[in-house]
Structure 1
Amino acid sequence: MPTDPIAELRATISEQLGRFWRADPSEDASNDTEVTAPPAVDSPRIGIVSPAPPSRLREDVAAEIAGRLRQERRGFGDLLHQNSDETPGQAALGIATAASLPLGARFKPRGIFEDDWAARPSKERPWPVILIHGTCDTKGIWEILGIQLRADGWAVFAPDYGNRATQPLPQSSQQLGAYIEAVLEVTGAEKAILIGHSQGGLLARYWMRIDGGADHVRHLICISSPNHGTTQGGIASRLVRGPRQESVMRSIIDSWFGPAGMEQIVGSETLLAVNRDGDLEPGVSYTCIATRSDAVVVPPETCFLDPRHAPEGTVRNIYVQDFDRRAVVLHEDMPMDKRVHAIVRTLLEQIN
């Protein structure tokens, strides 16, 4: 009698599956023989010992757990603010919760970037590179550039600071300074290269001038940093015609960017202190990269530093559009833009 290929295939599959899963006792219910349960030590998968059987909770304990879950049950709207309640312990420790953070700092962070504290500078790359993110951001924005710089041989680090850079600059500067000192101590380097996006570049300059950190910096790259401030609301500043509109705009800035927001506006005491007696620090060279498409730092040339009274080559002020005149690169996308990456990587090769 000819064999049935489908039946053979079905039998083969059943045999192979039987090696991995215990047969369902219900399938044998029609048999006259009694189905006995396998020993407790048997496993549905070959080579894996079965775990211990589950334990039954006491009725009162189970009821208490169920009651706690009912109390903590939340709707979709509650889930959006599930960390909004601040406990007294958190307040005492100064721990920021979602409710205490400015609106702009509540967005989900972009990217992941981890420090490698085993990294060390080399003879060819004698300075560690420290990447400093901007307002309402995290160091995750440096994921791509950080990986590229490490592939180029640099020891790369990146801090998070100031409740996503919304705290006043003096507080953030203390945190940044402690971090830079830790990097220099661990790596054994005397100076570092700092790369800051937006507030990150301005904060680096604040730390260098106000907190006396300039002696520890070899080169600073500012990426769309408001070194001379931006107008309230950027391109929306033309809507500010009187005191009432200005008050509304300030309220929006405070709510969105926190205390650090107004410190980056033209005429702030912070900016006046950072730029008093010139833009530059002795012994430090600078690169400022801006984009003509910037709608946050307005006008974008306020990112640039004044090279007067400094040796030639101390300052480079460049636009992304100098290399791609049709490029539309927004302020918030600068740390992740491939043209910015090419500029940074090329310029670092030229530092000596």
Structure 2
Amino acid sequence: MLLRKTALVLTLATAALLTFTTPATAEPVAPADVVAAPTAAAAANPVIVVGGLSGVAVAYEPIAGRLRADGYRAFVYQLPGLGLGDIPTSARAFATYVNQVRATTGAAAVDLVAHSEGGLVARYYLKRLGGTATVGRYVSLGSPQYGTYVANIVAFLGLGSCAGIVACQQMAIGSAFLADLNGGDDTPGPVRYTTIRTLQDELVRPTGNAVVNDGATNVLIQAYCPLRVVGHLGLVLDGTAYTIVRGALIDGPVRPNCLAL
């Protein structure tokens, strides 16, 4: 019985992993293709793509590449220890990275596009570490803003509280971390908040927990494109999801392209 339980947990964990091995760059380096960028995007805030749990930097190059092709100065941030540790600690490291990007680019503020756990790290930075002074826009992709039952399932299977993984414990519905993060205003400061979610998200359950309150723009892909099938990891690869991200970065209306590749 224990072997069966262990196998199920490993299956869930494997679904969450992005199977690449390239490490994140320690210091942010401006992409070379920014030189030829369109004027409007080149003048916009740099965009930091914040990775999720077990997400290595190279796994987010597809969406970063789309941003660069559209003229944005895009950077990828890999969570310390692949995001397995304490989320507030990861947020403090992220605060340092934001300052490095601002110093590298000369920008006063950045925009954030955060996947999964990265959305919680970024929100903690905004809410608890003064990040609202340095961020213009926050866009989350499948972030368990109010927790996920998937994080609770390990304890249900009798294997302890998230098998000892601190970030998993903090993403469980009802955790002390989420109670603190979601206490009071979900959307502090002048930052424009957008969340993007999908009905087929296998790791954020219920999928409604991927939204935030207090004035955010919460976008369900299937509300606009009912036939679009997008999984949790697919949110950083899907063309329709990207058209929503692109619209959010220019403060535009929600007009997903349901046929985008």
TM over 0.5, shorter chain:
yes
Unaligned runs of 5+ in 2: 1-12, 253-261
RMSD across aligned positions (CA) = 2.7
Name the structure 2 match of 1:208: 126
CA distance in 1, matches of 2:167, 2:181: 14
Name the structure 2 match of 1:341: 242
Unaligned runs of 5+ in 1: 1-102
- Among candidates 143, 158, 168, match of residue 248 of structure 1: 158
What are the equivalent positions in structure 2 for 1:113-152 lying under 5 Å apart? Answer: 116-117=29-30, 124-125=40-41, 126-152=44-70
Name the structure 2 match of 1:289: 196
SS in 1 for 2:120: helix
Residue 325 in 1 paired to residue 226 in 2? yes
SS in 2 for 1:147: helix
Question: Aligned AA for 1:335?
Answer: V
How far the C-alpha of 1:124 sits from its partner, in A, is 2.3
- Tell me if the contact between 2:125 and 2:131 (Cα under 8 Å) persists in the aligned partners: yes
What are the equivalent positions in structure 2 for 1:1-352 lying under 5 Å apart? Answer: 108-109=19-20, 116-117=29-30, 124-125=40-41, 126-233=44-151, 237=153, 246=156, 248=158, 250-251=160-161, 253-254=162-163, 258-307=165-214, 310=215, 315-350=216-251
Deviations 1:139-167 (A, max 9, x none): 22222211111111110011122211111
- Tell me if the contact between 1:230 and 1:264 (Cα under 8 Å) persists in the aligned partners: yes
CA distance in 2, matches of 1:107, 1:294: 15
Which gives a bigger RCO, structure 1 or 2 (Cα 8 Å, sep 6+)?
Answer: 2
Question: Aligned AA for 1:194?
Answer: L
Question: Aligned AA for 2:40?
Answer: E
CA distance in 2, matches of 1:298, 1:193: 27
Distance 1:122 1:344, change over 3 A: same
Normalized against structure 1, the TM-score is what?
A: 0.60
Structure 1 segments, 4+ long, off by >3 Å, are: 103-108, 110-116, 118-123
- Tell me if the contact between 1:199 and 1:225 (Cα under 8 Å) persists in the aligned partners: yes
How far the C-alpha of 1:349 sits from its partner, in A, is 3.0
CA distance in 1, matches of 2:38, 2:240: 26
CA distance in 2, matches of 1:138, 1:283: 30
CA distance in 2, matches of 1:152, 1:272: 38
How far the C-alpha of 1:332 sits from its partner, in A, is 2.1
Name the structure 2 match of 1:7: none
- Determine which structure has more spread, i.e. the larger CA radius of gyration: 1
Aligned residue-pair number = 232
Distance 1:178 1:122, change over 3 A: farther
Deviations 1:114-147 (A, max 9, x none): 7542658986232000000110111222222111
Q: Give the fraction of aligned pairs with identical amino acids, expressed as a percent.
A: 26
SS in 2 for 1:318: strand
Distance 1:269 1:284, change over 3 A: same
- Tell me if the contact between 1:221 and 1:288 (Cα under 8 Å) persists in the aligned partners: yes
